[in-house]
């Protein structure tokens, strides 16, 4: 939660009571209010230290049913709205997830999007670029996976790696086959500009871009790493490289602050989500997505009089059939 917004936000429990009595309109409005505190919008004055990694409360074990109920309502609302998005076939939504290792990207994607129709949603994960990727511009490999109209696309990491890990480990930049005269001290600002222009282009063509930074603390990451080592079923998730990257924590935080400051806009905003509590983070993410879908003013396609007459005739034919 943004430290500056604490006074404006009510207690989490107060926000989520009487959930079963909420109308769809009330649920959407509550999602908007809840997600707004993590919305960066224009990033010009953004400072990462203004955003916390923990929720401002702790409901404890007795609060888990409330949290689960809240998330389930969000999932159901998303599923309903995605159905209309798919039917309308005009807008598309791109969700970008970035975070330090063990921040909960995979779990957030799995739980928040669990109710969405698979044919209307696609997930793309981006690891180290291939030799083919390096023979193209840095946006190329992600452009191939942009969502079609009527669909939700999810990027688990993205072209933002090019101003994160490549900035932290500049030796990677030397292997990207760029002409030497193009690798200047302005390259990061140039890439920020390219990203802003790219996302503006997507927005102008009906693809809304939401970007989520799951803001996990270094101590919480440590605990999750230890859990992965202790749990045999999670050993596959952990490597020596993950632990080594902790040594660059400060560099990564600087890189995240710079990229959010330079690429968050009102039309393609970043959300800085407190990620030390996974369930809370998922609710915040679902709320932001509901907000964005509601802004599209979605509605099912309307049929004309001729189509209605055709449907009426088909219905009558079916009713007239003899068993």
Sheet strand arrangement including 207-215: 121-125, 152-156, 92-99, 207-215, 270-274
Report the DSSP beta bridge partners of residue 272: 213
Segment 111-133 shows an average pLDDT of 93
Segment 142-153 shows an average pLDDT of 97
- Mapped onto helix, strand or coil, the DSSP state of residue 111 is helix
DSSP letter string over 20-71? GG--HHHHHHHHHHHHHTTB--S-TT--GGGB-SS-S----GGGHHHHHHHH
pTM attached to this predicted model: 0.91
Note the pLDDT tens digit of each residue in 233-268.
Answer: 888 888 888 889 999 999 999 999 999 999 999 999
Nearest CA to 96 out of 147, 37, 48 is that of 147
Cα angle 153, 159, 160; round to 5: 110
Q: How far apart are CA 28 and CA 125, in angstroms?
A: 29
Segment 296-311 shows an average pLDDT of 92
pLDDT band at 11 (very low <50, low <70, confident <90, very high): low
pLDDT at position 313 is 93
Task: Judge contact between 114 and 152, C-beta under 8 A.
Answer: no
- Domains annotated for the chain, with CATH where assigned, are 3-320 (3.40.50.300)
Q: How far apart are CA 78 and CA 70, in angstroms?
A: 12
């Amino acid at each position: 939660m943004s430290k500056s917004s604490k006074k404006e936000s009510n207690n989490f429990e107060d926000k989520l009571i009487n959930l079963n009595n909420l109308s769809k309109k009330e649920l959407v409005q509550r999602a908007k209010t809840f997600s707004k505190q993590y919305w960066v919008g224009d990033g010009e004055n953004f400072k990462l230290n203004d955003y916390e990694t923990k929720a401002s409360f702790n409901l404890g074990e007795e609060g888990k049913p409330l949290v689960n109920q809240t998330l389930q309502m969000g999932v159901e609302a998303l599923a309903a709205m995605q159905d209309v998005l798919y039917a309308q076939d005009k807008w598309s939504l791109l969700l970008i997830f970035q975070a330090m290792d063990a921040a909960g990207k995979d779990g957030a994607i799995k739980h928040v999007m669990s109710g969405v129709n698979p044919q209307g949603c696609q997930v793309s994960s981006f690891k180290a670029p291939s030799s083919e990727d390096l023979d193209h511009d840095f946006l190329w490999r992600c452009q191939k996976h942009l969502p079609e109209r009527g669909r939700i696309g999810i990027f688990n990491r993205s072209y933002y790696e090019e101003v994160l890990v490549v900035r932290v480990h500049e030796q990677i930049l030397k292997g990207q086959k760029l002409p030497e005269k193009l690798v200047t001290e302005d390259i990061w600002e140039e890439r920020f500009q390219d990203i802003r222009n790219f996302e503006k282009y997507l927005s102008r063509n009906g693809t809304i871009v939401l970007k989520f930074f799951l803001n996990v603390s270094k101590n919480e990451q440590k605990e999750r790493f230890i859990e992965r080592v202790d749990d045999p079923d999670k050993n596959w998730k952990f490597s020596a490289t993950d632990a080594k990257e902790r040594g660059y924590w400060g560099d990564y935080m600087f890189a995240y602050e710079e990229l959010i400051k330079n690429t968050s806009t009102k039309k393609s905003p970043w959300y800085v989500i407190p990620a030390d509590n996974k369930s809370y983070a998922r609710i915040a993410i679902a709320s932001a997505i509901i907000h964005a879908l509601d802004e599209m003013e979605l509605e099912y396609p309307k049929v004309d009089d001729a189509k209605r007459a055709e449907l009426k005739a088909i219905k009558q034919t079916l009713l007239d059939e003899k068993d």
